[in-house]
């Protein structure tokens, strides 16, 4: 293991292992990642200074015991995704210190493949898949190098890439046709995915503005037909009915769900596929309001969709929504729920409501007057409103007049309730970034929004967005997230800026589209999607699926076999060419080597016929075997062999 050949292999191997573990820096605690880096660096140093590597079993045992204690203390046990991954990574680092034989190298390579696969437990993006494929190619190259006479990095990588390409058709067929088996609930990892929805089940003035500059993806939507205009792109989330004067929270809508009237719908039906990212809550943000949806989705008493099963993974839903609807009558419980106030409104609030004719006019007129008040008075839409610790509603309406959507929605609902008009705050997302390449909408955290709902006779719950009165461009135009900064003015994308889109944005859309297709057709390819996909090709049952699987696997096997058997003849090895010259020099003595005769057998026959050339024949034969069949050889060995063959001559007397 101390030869230059194996030193190069170890460098190749340790580099591969380092690249595989590198993405886990975001998944494991810094102390554990540092421990692994220490062991990796220690083994790197051991390539040139092997005397510093641990030599006693006791030291290995103590380090292993320390690793188990560290993982157990960090994760309160050794079971689960995080604990298991950390233990595997640290065990791999410890195994690096034990590399002494070729068998150890093979074992490290196999362990590294498992660590590479564990990356998919944390992230299933297209970028991560490409990265894992690249590092696996490097690992394959390590195996190629181990079995090569001389190591050439480029040649080893090329061979590994060819092996992976040859495996791709078989892997694709098995992925598409092999039955998808869903893991039982009890086998799922308990750790929640780190990707979480930013909206909360409560809201304070300014809370949503914290998400205003976040580009984190929440969900993507692809419509099968018409796409609703920007002013109708409201994605319904939690409905907040209870307030203590500062904070707005959800109430239990199940109390009156059974008494609700069934909504009636009008206008265009929008059908779409919604791909939700993994989240902490079980909310599904459908276009307001959803009319048709499939199990396991459910709708609560506030017309919000929820997924009661497993929200902690990326999931796709088929939904149909209407933007024009009538929810019907108002139940007594709903009325109490949507007119609640923590205390009697102040005289200033009552005076403002009276000034806007909230007590003596129709609700529709009061709504119009209130929106006009926001529009004509000195109100401003900003991501950084002033702090309002005491009486935030009153402070916003009469003093600061600067706020984000949550300020306007909560103040508007408070004014409606003061006038005894049922109203509530609705949170969710508004708008979306349109991807022209894939023809779908991307909704990010920056699109988080809050608006109001007011109950109106003969209309039911009607959406009213007071933010639109102050900043209509927030609804009609897209936020320019790249230019959003806390403390600066809010900017929106204009038609001119969209036309002047540079190539970086175009490349970004191409990549986002590729990632979207990857998530839909690969990551989310479960048993249901497999059944739908195969049914489009006339494959409807398990028996037909197995027939197609066996037929395609057999076909690919035959094609690969033909490709390998009938490939072009490779150039003759230089060492073999010199050996053939040596055999030709023996032909005048009647020694002709047959195709089935090995080098050692031919040498034995030649020595019997030419006993005086025994030493030369042995030297040439041994040198040829080392060069042609051995794993370790140098340029000097080839030069020596060439001199031996060139200097070999038959005795002239022998030829007479």
Is residue 645 packed enough to be buried (19+ CB in 10 Å), middle (13-18) or exposed (0-12)?
buried
Of 7-21, 57-71, 151-165, minimum mean pLDDT range: 57-71
pLDDT tier for residue 50 given thresholds of 50, 70 and 90: confident
pLDDT tier for residue 198 given thresholds of 50, 70 and 90: low
What is the C-alpha to C-alpha distance for residues 70 and 170, in angstroms, rounded to an integer? Answer: 41
Residue 425 near residue 248 (C-beta atoms within 8 A): yes
Of 41-45, 302-306, 401-405, 489-493, minimum mean pLDDT range: 489-493
pLDDT of residue 283: 93
* Token pair of 213 as six digits: 């500059």
Q: What percent of the chain has pLDDT over 90?
A: 38
Query: DSSP for 115-146?
Result: HHHHGGGT---HHHHHHHHHHHHHHHHHHHHH
Which of 384, 375, 411 has its CA nearest to residue 203? 411
Q: What's the pTM?
A: 0.72
What is the C-alpha to C-alpha distance for residues 371 and 425, in angstroms, rounded to an integer? Answer: 16
Length of the chain: 656
pLDDT of residue 193: 41
pLDDT tier for residue 186 given thresholds of 50, 70 and 90: very low
* Token pair of 495 as six digits: 């038609």
User: Could you report the per-residue pLDDT of 599-624, keeping only the tens digit for each?
Assistant: 999 999 999 989 888 999 999 999 99
| Residue 496 scores a pLDDT above 60 | no
Q: What percent of the chain has pLDDT over 70?
A: 86
pLDDT tier for residue 77 given thresholds of 50, 70 and 90: low
What is the C-alpha to C-alpha distance for residues 160 and 143, in angstroms, rounded to an integer? Answer: 9
Residue 70 near residue 38 (C-beta atoms within 8 A): no
Residue 528 near residue 316 (C-beta atoms within 8 A): no
pLDDT of residue 484: 44
Strands 380-381 and 402-403 come out as parallel
Q: Burial code of 341-371, b = ≥16 C-beta within 10 A, e = fewer?
A: eeeebeeebeebbeebebeeeebeebbbbbb
Of 165-169, 206-210, 257-261, minimum mean pLDDT range: 206-210
* Cα–Cα separations (whole angstroms), residue 216 to 213, 440, 517, 524, 579: 9, 17, 18, 20, 66
Residue 429 near residue 220 (C-beta atoms within 8 A): no
Which of 586, 532, 426 has its CA nearest to residue 176? 532
Q: Considering only residues 168 and 492, tell me which one the structure prediction assigns the higher pLDDT.
A: 168
Q: How many CB atoms lie within 10 A of CB 378?
A: 6
pLDDT tier for residue 205 given thresholds of 50, 70 and 90: low
Query: DSSP for 534-600?
Result: HHTTT--SHHHHHHHHHHHHHHHHHHHHHHHHTPPPPPPPHHHHHHHHHHHHHGGGT----TT--HH
- DSSP, collapsed to helix, strand or coil, labels residue 330 as coil
Greatest mean pLDDT among 48-52, 417-421, 444-448, 568-572 lies in 417-421
What is the C-alpha to C-alpha distance for residues 120 and 595, in angstroms, rounded to an integer? Answer: 52
Interhelix angle 153-177/527-535, nearest 10 degrees: 80
Strand order in the sheet with 217-223: 290-293, 315-326, 264-276, 217-223, 440-444, 433-435
Of 251-260, 415-424, 609-618, minimum mean pLDDT range: 251-260
| Residue 495 scores a pLDDT above 70 | no
- DSSP, collapsed to helix, strand or coil, labels residue 389 as coil
Which helix (DSSP H) or strand (DSSP E) does residue 653 occupy? helix 652-655
Cis amide prior to 310 (ω within 30 degrees): no
| Residue 8 scores a pLDDT above 70 | yes
pLDDT tier for residue 196 given thresholds of 50, 70 and 90: very low
pLDDT tier for residue 386 given thresholds of 50, 70 and 90: confident
Work out whether the CA dihedral 525, 529, 531, 534 comes out positive or negative. Answer: negative
pLDDT tier for residue 192 given thresholds of 50, 70 and 90: very low
User: Could you report the per-residue pLDDT of 144-172, keeping only the tens digit for each?
Assistant: 888 765 557 788 888 889 889 989 999 99
Which helix (DSSP H) or strand (DSSP E) does residue 106 occupy? helix 102-118
What is the C-alpha to C-alpha distance for residues 243 and 130, in angstroms, rounded to an integer? Answer: 49
Residue 405 near residue 434 (C-beta atoms within 8 A): no
Is residue 564 packed enough to be buried (19+ CB in 10 Å), middle (13-18) or exposed (0-12)?
exposed
* Cα–Cα separations (whole angstroms), residue 542 to 77, 177, 178, 531, 545: 41, 10, 10, 10, 5
Query: DSSP for 208-236?
Result: GGGGTT---EEEEEEESSPPPPGGG-EEE
Q: Considering only residues 353 and 68, tell me which one the structure prediction assigns the higher pLDDT.
A: 353
User: Could you report the per-residue pLDDT of 522-567, keeping only the tens digit for each?
Assistant: 888 888 788 888 988 888 888 999 999 999 999 999 998 888 777 6
| Residue 195 scores a pLDDT above 60 | no
């Amino acid at each position: 293991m101390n030869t230059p050949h194996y030193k190069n292999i170890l460098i190749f191997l340790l580099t591969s292992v380092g690249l595989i573990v590198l993405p886990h820096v975001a998944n494991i605690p810094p102390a554990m990642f540092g421990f692994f880096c220490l062991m990796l660096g220690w083994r790197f140093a051991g390539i040139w200074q092997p005397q510093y590597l641990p030599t006693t079993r006791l030291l290995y045992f103590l380090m292993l015991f320390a690793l188990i204690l560290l993982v157990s203390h960090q994760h309160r046990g050794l079971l689960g995704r995080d604990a298991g991954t950390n233990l595997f990574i640290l065990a791999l680092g410890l195994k690096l210190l034990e590399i002494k034989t070729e068998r150890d190298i093979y074992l490290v390579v196999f362990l590294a493949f498992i660590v590479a696969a564990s990356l998919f437990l944390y992230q299933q993006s297209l970028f991560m898949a490409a990265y894992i494929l690249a590092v696996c190619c490097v690992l394959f190259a390590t195996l190629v190098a181990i079995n090569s006479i001389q190591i050439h990095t480029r040649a080893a990588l090329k061979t590994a890439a060819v092996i992976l390409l040859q495996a791709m058709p078989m892997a694709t067929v098995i992925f598409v046709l092999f039955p998808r088996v869903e893991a039982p609930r009890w086998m799922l990892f308990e750790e929640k995915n780190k990707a979480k929805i930013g909206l909360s089940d409560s809201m304070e003035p300014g809370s949503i503005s914290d998400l205003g500059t976040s580009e984190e993806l929440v969900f993507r939507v692809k419509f099968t037909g018409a796409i609703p205009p920007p002013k109708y792109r409201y994605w319904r989330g939690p409905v907040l009915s209870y307030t203590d004067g500062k904070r707005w929270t959800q109430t239990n809508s199940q109390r009156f769900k059974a008494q609700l009237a069934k909504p009636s719908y009008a206008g265009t039906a929008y059908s779409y596929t919604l791909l939700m990212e993994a989240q902490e809550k079980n909310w599904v943000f459908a276009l307001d309001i959803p009319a048709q949806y499939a199990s396991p989705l459910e709708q609560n008493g506030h017309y919000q969709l929820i997924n009661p099963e497993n929200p902690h993974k990326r999931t796709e839903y088929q939904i149909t929504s209407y933007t024009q609807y009538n929810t019907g009558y108002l139940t007594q419980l709903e009325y109490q729920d949507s007119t609640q106030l923590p205390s009697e409104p102040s005289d200033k609030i009552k005076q403002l409501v009276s000034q806007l004719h909230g007590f003596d006019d129709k609700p529709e007129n009061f709504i119009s007057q209130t929106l006009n008040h926001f529009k004509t008075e000195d109100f401003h839409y900003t991501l950084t409103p002033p702090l309002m610790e005491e009486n935030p509603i009153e402070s916003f309406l009469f003093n600061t007049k600067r706020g984000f959507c949550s300020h306007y929605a909560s103040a508007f609902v408070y004014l409606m309730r003061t006038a005894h008009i049922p109203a509530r705050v609705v949170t969710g997302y508004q708008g979306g970034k349109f991807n022209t390449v894939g023809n779908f909408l991307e909704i990010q955290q920056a699109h988080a929004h809050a608006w109001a709902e007011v109950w109106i006779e003969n209309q039911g719950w009607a959406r009213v967005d007071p933010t639109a009165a102050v900043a209509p461009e927030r609804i009609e135009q897209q936020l320019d997230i790249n230019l959003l900064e806390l403390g600066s003015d809010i900017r929106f994308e204009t038609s001119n800026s969209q036309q002047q889109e540079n190539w970086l944005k175009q490349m970004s859309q191409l990549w986002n589209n590729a990632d979207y297709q990857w998530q839909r057709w690969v990551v989310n390819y479960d048993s249901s999607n497999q059944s739908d996909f195969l049914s489009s090709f006339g494959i409807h049952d398990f028996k037909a699926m197995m027939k197609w699987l066996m037929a395609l696997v057999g076909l690919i096997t035959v094609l690969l076999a033909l490709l390998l058997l009938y490939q072009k003849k490779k150039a003759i090895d230089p060492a073999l060419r010199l050996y053939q010259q040596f055999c030709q020099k023996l032909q005048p003595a009647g020694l002709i080597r047959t195709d089935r005769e090995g080098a050692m057998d031919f040498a034995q026959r030649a020595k019997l016929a030419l006993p005086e050339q025994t030493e030369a024949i042995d030297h040439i034969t041994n040198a040829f075997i080392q060069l042609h069949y051995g794993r370790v050889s140098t340029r000097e060995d080839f030069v020596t062999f060439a001199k031996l063959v060139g200097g070999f001559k038959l005795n002239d007397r022998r030829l007479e």
